[in-house]
C-alpha cells in the first residue's frame, strides 16, 4: 500500500502533466474537488512553470 507521501507525489505529477498538457487550474479544481489555492500551490511545489493569466483567448491590451 502506498504511503501518503507517495500518493501526494503521484498527485503532483498528474497535476503537473495535466496543466502542462493544457488543462486550466479551474479544470483541475473541478476534476479533483480541491480548492484553486491548493491546486496552484501543488503545481508550484511540483516545479511547474505557470502560464500567464487569461487563457488562450485572452487579448492583452496596452
How confident is the model at residue 56, as a pLDDT?
62
Q: Could you tell me if residue 53 is inside a domain?
A: no
d(CA 48, CA 19): 8
d(CA 59, CA 42): 28
How confident is the model at residue 32, as a pLDDT?
96
How confident is the model at residue 54, as a pLDDT?
75
Q: Could you tell me if residue 41 is inside a domain?
A: yes
Q: What total of structural domains would you count in the chain? A: 1
How confident is the model at residue 44, as a pLDDT?
97
Q: Which domain holds residue 34?
A: 4-45
Q: Could you tell me if residue 17 is inside a domain?
A: yes
Q: How many CA atoms lie within 13 A of 60 on its CB side?
A: 5
* Ranges of the chain whose pLDDT falls below 50: none
Question: Cell for 44?
Answer: 508550484
Amino acid at each position: 500500500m502506498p504511503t501518503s507521501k507517495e500518493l501526494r507525489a503521484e498527485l503532483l505529477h498528474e497535476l503537473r502533466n495535466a496543466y502542462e498538457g493544457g488543462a486550466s487550474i479551474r479544470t483541475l479544481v473541478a476534476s479533483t474537488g480541491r480548492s484553486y489555492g491548493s491546486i496552484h500551490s501543488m503545481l508550484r511545489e511540483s516545479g511547474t512553470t505557470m502560464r500567464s493569466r487569461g487563457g488562450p483567448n485572452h487579448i492583452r491590451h496596452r
